[in-house]
Chains A and B, each alone.
Chain A
Amino acid sequence: MAPANKPSTRRTPQVRLRNYDSDDYCEFELLGTDVSVANALRRIILSHVPTIAIELVEIERNSTVLNDEFIAHRLGLIPIVSTDVGILTSPYEANDDKQCDELEYELNVRCTGDETMDVTSEDLRPHNSWPNALPVGHSQRPQGSAAQGNAADERPIVIVKMRRGQELKLKAMARKGTGKDHAKWSPVATARFQYRPDIQLDQDALSRLSFQEKESFLNSIPRGKMIFRLNPHTSEIEVNDAEAYLFDRQIFERMEEFSLPPDAITIRPLPDYFIFKVEGTGVLPCATIVSMAIDILREKLAVLHTEVQNQENFAPMLSDAAA
């Protein structure tokens, strides 16, 4: 960056990882940057990080209770482990040199027993050269792959239930895509960030309330007993977990009801402190999703940068033509 344009309020963003015990959930703090950057990151995680999902289904035989479209839709929503997504080509990226990659799956099930039978993601047989691209929780999953969930509590995803004599035979085609096209390609269940609330208590003002009144005051606030705690020894209200506060402002209405002055409790969001919570679907480890999202944002900026440069080079020519 040109040193002449260094803003005086230069900050260095920081990242603190809070919780990353499983690949399916990640909690981190982003400090020292603007809400617009945090929001760009959130939006990219939701809708620009590519994954694999079934997009085309050819049904050969279907005598189940669900109609063809219903089954096709359910197949589309099955999360497929997408660690290989980086080397795949989506229909939008395909050109003369590169063809769009299609991952083929087959399903051929017939119920012969008297018991109701579950057709699950386990019955999807991959027919392609992408051994990692299996439904999440599939028993064939190669060891050490992306989804390191506990196999014991992971059960295959039910597609349809069958009774004796019913049959389902189909071919499914999966492709690389992004959540912008359809939510089935979103790599996460949720990705959200929140401000960190800064809660200041004025004990003098709060001491107008008796212990019992404080107790009922806290009970009247949504999540009051999570945000605050009542110290039994000093009988003072203390902040227990500031982040439990959801910026719902109910607390201020209750303060009025308890005839507390408005500055007895002041809450303000810290301006550059964001808490991110990313819940993955198992298709990619959450750390990979976040890293990919940042790289996608960088790529967008790089493309824009070159594009502006190109435009500038062409601009004199355009004005010459106009003259």
Chain B
Amino acid sequence: MVTTTTAAASSSDAQEPSSETFMLENEDHTLANALRFFLNKNPHVEFCGYSSPHPADDVVNVRIQTTGEISAAEALRQACRSCQEVCAHVNTCFKDAVARKHASMSQ
């Protein structure tokens, strides 16, 4: 296991930035499924799906096709940012809740 993620854009057609397949190495359903959800939320994304070619391979392929307003890579970056925002928000909420609980217990 390597802790870093490496994304290799292996687009079948380099002239078409609106549809690309991204190979996420050292990642699995954990990240890919969450990303797919955020990508499908994006109104500029026409299609998004992912697959793991083999359970023993440490790689997932994320296919993104956009309507053309933004590139597939841009859609992926936006999904990353949205999901990061959600994570940050959930973490703040969770830490607040724990702090409140500790405060109420010490009273």
Contact = CB atoms under 8 A, between A and B. Distances in A.
Interface stretch (A66-74, A160-168, A219-227, A310-318): A310-318
A15 B93 contact: yes
B87 A1 contact: no
B94 A294 contact: yes
A93 B98 CA distance: 31
Contact of A303 (B4, B30, B82): B4
A312 B73 contact: yes
Given A5-B44, A44-B30, A178-B1, A36 B36 contact: yes
A13 B93 contact: yes
Contacts of A39: 29-30, 33-34
| Main secondary structure on A side of the interface with B | helix
A30 interface: yes
Given A20-B101, A36-B36, A318-B14, A298 B5 contact: no
Interface string A7-30: 101001111110011000000101
Interface string A294-321: 1101101111110111011001001100
A17 B102 CA distance: 11
Contacts of A14: 93
Interface in B42-86: 42-44, 70-71, 73, 76-78, 80-86
B97 A16 contact: yes
A55 B22 CA distance: 35
A322 B14 CA distance: 10
**What band does the interface of chain B fall in when counting residues whose beta carbon is under 8 Å from A?**
35 or more
B89 to A, nearest CB: 6
Contacts of B93: 13-15
Nearest to A40: B34
A16 B89 CA distance: 13
A180 interface: yes
B31 A304 contact: yes
A305 B94 contact: no
Contact of A295 (B4, B34, B91): B91
A1 B80 contact: no
Interface pairs A-B: 3 shortest CB-CB:
A17-B97, A15-B93, A305-B80
23 contacts: A5-B44, A13-B86, A13-B89, A15-B93, A17-B100, A30-B90, A34-B34, A34-B37, A36-B37, A37-B83, A41-B90, A90-B3, A295-B87, A297-B30, A297-B31, A298-B84, A298-B87, A300-B27, A301-B83, A301-B84, A304-B35, A307-B7, A311-B8
